[in-house]
A = this chain, B = another copy of it.
Amino acid sequence: MDYFQMESYLKAIGDSNRMRILKYLMKDSLCICEFTELMKMTQPAISQHMKKLKQAELVLEEKRGRWTIWSLNIRHAQYPILIHLLSLLPEPERTIETLKAEGKKVVCE
């Protein structure tokens, strides 16, 4: 890995909202609309964060009907480091469980 690849990698991770996204993806594969509910952000904001994570190959997308299901790319060479860094962070306040409790869990499949 050269210096600019490492820079791209660290910049992709180094945003608090993208770290929250990655932290959620450690537990579940999720679609954009679920992130908008979990993180109280607009759909384009989430979409643009996913694009950055995708360009860094940190996440994978799978089209399923109208939805795009996003997941962690566990085959990324630096995946163990990512998991280690994310493990240092607390769980986000709103969880998939709270979404379900609110009846807002989207059935994407």
CB 8 Å contact bits of A4-19 with B (1 = contact, 0 = none): 1011001101111001
**Residues of B close to A15: CB separation below 8 A:** 7
In the complex this chain forms, how many copies of it are found?
2
Among B3, B19, B81, B90, contact of A81 (Cβ-Cβ < 8 Å): B81
Closest to A19 in B: B3
Among B2, B7, B19, contact of A7 (Cβ-Cβ < 8 Å): B19
The answer on a CB contact under 8 Å between B3 and A16 is yes
Among B2, B7, B10, B89, contact of A3 (Cβ-Cβ < 8 Å): B89
Q: Report which A residues bind B (CB closer than 8 A).
A: 1-4, 6-7, 10-11, 13-16, 19-20, 78, 81, 84-85, 88-90
